[in-house]
Amino acid sequence: MSGEQAKLNRKDFVSDQDVRWCPGCGDYAILAQVQRVMPELNIPRENIVFVSGIGCSSRFPYYMNTYGFHSIHGRATAVASGLKLARPDLSVWVVTGDGDGLSIGGNHLIHLLRRNLDINVLLFNNEIYGLTKGQYSPTSRMGQITKSSPLGVADHPFDTVSLALGADATFVARTVDTETRHLQAMLTRAVEHKGTSFIEILQNCPIFNDGCFEEVSGKGSRIENQLVLEHGQPLLFGPEDARMGVALGKDMSPQVVSMDSTPAEQVLLHDETNEALGFFLSRLERPEFPVPLGVIRAMDRPIYEKEVMAQAERALSEMGKPDFNKLFCGGDTWTVE
Amino acid sequence: MAEVPSETNVREKPVEQIDTVVIRFAGDSGDGMQLTGTQFTNESAVAGNDIATLPDYPAEIRAPAGTLAGVSGFQVNFSQGRVFTPGDRPDVLVVMNPAALSVNIADLRDGGILVADSDAFTLANIRKAGMDGDPLADASLNKRVRVYSVPLTRMTTDSISDMGLPNKTMVRCKNFFALGLCSWMFNRPIEQTLTWIESKFAKSPALVEANTRVFKAGWNFGETTEVFVHTYEVKPADIEPGTYTNMTGNRALALGLMAAASKAGKSMFFGSYPITPASDILHELAAHKNFDVTTFQGEDEIAAVCSAIGASFGGALGVTASSGPGIALKGEALGLAVITELPLVVVNVQRGGPSTGLPTKTEQADLMQAFFGRNGESPLAIVAPATPVECFDMAFEAVHVALKYMVPVMILSDGYLANGAQPWKIPDYDELPDISVRYWKGDLGFHPYLRNEDTLSRPWVIPGTPGFEHRIGGLEKDYDSGDISYDPANHERMTRVRAEKIERVSEDLNPLCVEGSELGELLMVGWGSTYGALAQATEELNAEGLATGHLQLRWLNPLPVEELKRIFARYKTIVVPELNMGQLVRILRERLLVDAIPVSRVQGQPFKVGELKARVKAIVEEGR
């Protein structure tokens, strides 16, 4: 039963529940990659907990044969924070979406990222509310026609990565539901990172927002639009015969340059620890620029639960073991004979 | 400077014996009146009196100086008899400025003592308080009460003028002059205050010296001047032997939660967000991290409760605390705790509402919120401590119930209990009962909603337990498998089971206890912090010949309906006094089909015994 025994495989992480996402939903692919990566982590299955809020993505815990908590809308990050603080020994995962995580749960998300608990957050971004049948979300694009925006979305969307970086996340990555290898690599990196790991997974909703990420996932367009980041490597994209690079213009603005006519040293090198570069990448706007995929930021900062544990240890060493009778008599006392 | 006499010294002036005294300190919110009142209370406790206190301060931290809005007060009742309330009207009123006089003078009883800092009664201050002419010179006031004009500020600065302190710092010491004077007037033991000054200002030896000198100067002023002709003495009360300390409701709650968690062998996780008047619970718990207590100041009320639920899922005792507006925000998450059947303790330190309402004032208007303030059928267990020290016992019981039945329990305290203080007979931790926690011991056929036959609680299997990986959540679950279920009959079955679990809590509760007459004309039914006023009124009504019983309910859900019916049958009239517009009375009328009559008060203040008696008597008269 214990994970310390025979090595687990993907099937060990498949629960007995029927998966009930719509046919063709990007969530299937993500679930499969998570189940595939789990055995590689060498974490006993009983020590893994998936926590979710509300939305299509939030059904995720029911399909994982681990411990799971399907909580309420937007609050998975808060539930997970309490769980991780009470049980730092557990591997805690949050599965959320663009509505759950960025709209109703935006507050808890930014504070989790700021505190930097060692929790892995997977945000499935499909730029739409799926479970409530097709209203616009905080990542829907301006002008987008949805059930609740028949004349087009009037509000400006969040860029998920910019938001996470702005909240001082220590690990931010972006990947795509259909890029199975890349998705697996990002999951592995997220687990390796100590502190909150935040992955935005661009995910297709075939029912209410089909093709929303066609430019980065489509067979014809993905090569031209994916800027795959590698630490220490130049920011290059596009087909082999027409390589393009991202450079810094004289006015500090990003520029796409053709590698045919540009010296290689003019192209920016990716650095996961460079905060300014992270912001720079997160502001590259479609369609003028490619979509950065990969680890945008990875840096070390004190981990919240470790700080809390250190305080408890300090309290123990300074104030001693719990002594309730001493505590009860802590104020002024008097004795009635 | 004359030496301050110790307790054993023979006093120069005659001593008048009295049974009970109510004293109110009032001044600007920056004048240190809460501190003065608290310290005077501690002296009275050490003197062996029974005591009750009522701090009354504005929501603004520092309202403009000298204004009516900025007046802060602290009232203490100390007696050689049993004390139930802080007292309706003070016998002694100490005011530090005209605004404090203006706000409080009507409450001072006829023939009472007014001590005023005459230096603060400048024309500007008098105008700021909205008065014309010096009220201290007012003839009708001087006829009604004994006025002592004391140049308190000047004597304060005079007594420390050689220390080279800035004038502002010197003036700030004046509350210690008032404390010294009152300590002299009522023969309070002062060693404790002197020690306290030393520890409170330990970081600044100059302030220790200044405050000590000012305190002694206040004492000496009483002893040596001609102004006061005698002092008063309140003999020690007949109190059960034991060691005591002064205890507020908020501190008692914190200690009770900690002790119970420890007795259950559980780590305690406290998720909270700052809110008046509950924040002191967070402060208290945060100071005891060596007791296996984790405190988490969430980004909002929802994070606070959700983190506590997450911690309970992980196997800790999750606790959250707030006041009414915060509890409103927690509502959806409380429903999650109900449907996932996780142990959770929720403290609501009630305050005046709706909305922001009266943040620093007391009210009992969240009972309906506790019962029904969530979507769907979502019953919680509800308990209401009656006194500040009872907050310890009720917190302990709440933890026991939450863990045994796997339910959320709401503790309804209020601003009056939270900040009010009372002598607490310190229990021996080793004699407190253990709280046993049941874990799943079976193997085959496990699912997360398998129920214990006696309590109907589901098994608490925590992450990290191999072989029992499972998922819980806010969606309805199947009674027999624990899987998601939309089956109509199953939903009704689960709804009924969640309600029945709360009913089963009855088996752990103490029988009801009626005080006063066991049968007769009138039964007063109360809950929570009104205990003192109702108990005092009951005593007085019985003494006046009206056979009155008093029942203070602790557990409100479950409600012992059959037991209540038997008790109610013994009285002609049932009256339900509450600091709301009639909430418990609705429940009682609905559950017992009884013609119980509400007595409401929503002024942000506790019941006054005199007023309560008059209203209750009028109801009895009408019924005759």
pLDDT at B464: 96
Q: In this structure, what token pair is assigned to residue A136? A: 């616009």
DSSP code of residue B358: B
The predicted-structure confidence for A87-116, as pLDDT tens digits, reads as follows 999 999 999 999 999 999 999 999 999 999
pLDDT at B2: 42
Angle at CA of residue A225, ends A224 and A226, nearest 5°: 105
pLDDT at B421: 87
Comparison of pLDDT for A85 and B69, the residue scoring more: A85
What is the nearest CA distance from A160 to chain B, expressed in angstroms?
20
Cβ(A69)–Cβ(A82) below 8 Å: no
List Cβ neighbours of A330 (8 Å cut-off, separation of 6 or more): B245
Q: Which residues of A137-162 are buried (b: 16+ CB within 10 A; e: fewer)?
A: bbbbeeebebeebeeebeeebbbbbb
Cβ(B69)–Cβ(B58) below 8 Å: yes
Side chain identity, residue A150: P
**For range A177-188, the mean pLDDT:** 97
Q: How many angstroms separate the CA atoms of B597 and B520, rounded?
A: 16
Above 90 in pLDDT, residue A319?
Answer: yes
Above 70 in pLDDT, residue B5?
Answer: no
pLDDT at A2: 46
Contacts of B246 in chain A (CB under 8 A): 331-332
The predicted-structure confidence for A230-289, as pLDDT tens digits, reads as follows 999 999 999 999 999 999 999 999 999 999 999 999 999 999 999 999 999 999 998 999
Q: Which 3-state string (H, E, C) describes B434-497? A: CCCCCCCCCCCCCCCCCCCCCCCCCCCCCCCCCCCCCEEECCCECCCCCCECCCHHHHHHHHHH
A residues 289-318 closer than 8 Å to B (CB): 308, 311-312, 314-316, 318
Above 80 in pLDDT, residue B462?
Answer: yes
Q: How many angstroms separate the CA atoms of B51 and B80, rounded?
A: 9
Three-state secondary structure call for residue A259: coil
Q: Of B553, B524, B528, B527, whose CA–CA distance to B539 is shortest? A: B524
Residue in chain A closest to B46 (alpha carbons) equals A334
- Give all domains of chain B, ordered by start, each with its CATH number: 15-233 (3.40.920.10), 253-509 (3.40.50.970), 514-623 (3.40.50.920)
Comparison of pLDDT for B5 and B390, the residue scoring more: B390
Establish if A18 touches chain B: CB-CB under 8 angstroms.
no
Give this complex's ipTM.
Answer: 0.97
Please report how the helices A26-37 and A180-192 are oriented relative to each other, as an axis angle in degrees rounded to 10: 50
Q: In this structure, what token pair is assigned to residue B184? A: 């002299």
Cβ(B167)–Cβ(B157) below 8 Å: yes
Which residues does residue B352 pair with via DSSP β-bridges, in sequence order?
A: B358
Contacts of A327 in chain B (CB under 8 A): 255, 258, 288, 291
Stated length of chain A: 337
Q: Are strands A236-237 and A226-228 parallel, antiparallel or unpaired?
A: unpaired
CA A306, A312, A314, A318: dihedral to nearest 10 degrees? 180
For chain A, the C-alpha Rg in angstroms (whole number) is 23
pLDDT-based confidence at residue B10 (cuts at 50, 70, 90): very low
List Cβ neighbours of A47 (8 Å cut-off, separation of 6 or more): A3, A89, A90, A91, B463, B464
The predicted-structure confidence for B552-571, as pLDDT tens digits, reads as follows 999 999 999 999 999 999 99
List Cβ neighbours of A289 (8 Å cut-off, separation of 6 or more): A227, A246, A254, A256
Q: How many angstroms separate the CA atoms of B472 and B457, rounded?
A: 14
What is the nearest CA distance from B222 to chain A, expressed in angstroms?
26
The predicted-structure confidence for B317-359, as pLDDT tens digits, reads as follows 999 999 999 999 999 999 999 999 999 999 999 999 999 999 9
User: DSSP secondary structure string, B160-177?
Assistant: HGGG---HHHHHTTHHHH
Nearest by CB: A333 against B269, B298, B426:
B426
Q: How many angstroms separate the CA atoms of A33 and A178, rounded?
A: 10
Q: In this structure, what token pair is assigned to residue B581? A: 């517009």
In this structure, of A168-182, A286-300, B232-246, B249-263, the range with the lowest mean pLDDT score is B232-246
Establish if B473 touches chain A: CB-CB under 8 angstroms.
yes
Cβ(B606)–Cβ(B579) below 8 Å: yes
Q: How many angstroms separate the CA atoms of A304 and A322, rounded?
A: 24
Cβ(B191)–Cβ(B43) below 8 Å: no
Which residues does residue A248 pair with via DSSP β-bridges, in sequence order?
A: A254
In this structure, of A1-5, A116-120, A160-164, A316-320, the range with the lowest mean pLDDT score is A1-5
pLDDT at B136: 94
Q: Does domain A10-212 have CATH number 3.40.50.970?
A: yes
What is the nearest CA distance from A182 to chain B, expressed in angstroms?
28
**For range B240-260, the mean pLDDT:** 96
Above 70 in pLDDT, residue A185?
Answer: yes
Establish if B306 touches chain A: CB-CB under 8 angstroms.
yes
The predicted-structure confidence for B51-100, as pLDDT tens digits, reads as follows 999 888 877 777 888 899 999 999 999 999 999 999 999 999 999 999 99
Q: Do A85 and B336 touch (CB under 8 A)?
A: no
Q: Are strands B514-516 and A91-97 parallel, antiparallel or unpaired?
A: unpaired
| Domain layout of chain A by residue ranges | 10-212
List C-alpha distances in Å: B275 to B59, B287, B298, B327, B334.
Answer: 11, 18, 12, 11, 18
Q: Do B474 and A71 touch (CB under 8 A)?
A: yes
Q: How many angstroms separate the CA atoms of A297 and A164, rounded?
A: 10
Which residues does residue B16 pair with via DSSP β-bridges, in sequence order?
A: B232
Q: How many angstroms separate the CA atoms of B335 and B21, rounded?
A: 47
Above 60 in pLDDT, residue B190?
Answer: yes
DSSP code of residue A205: B
Residue in chain A closest to B193 (alpha carbons) equals A332
pLDDT at B225: 85
Above 50 in pLDDT, residue B6?
Answer: no
Above 70 in pLDDT, residue A4?
Answer: no
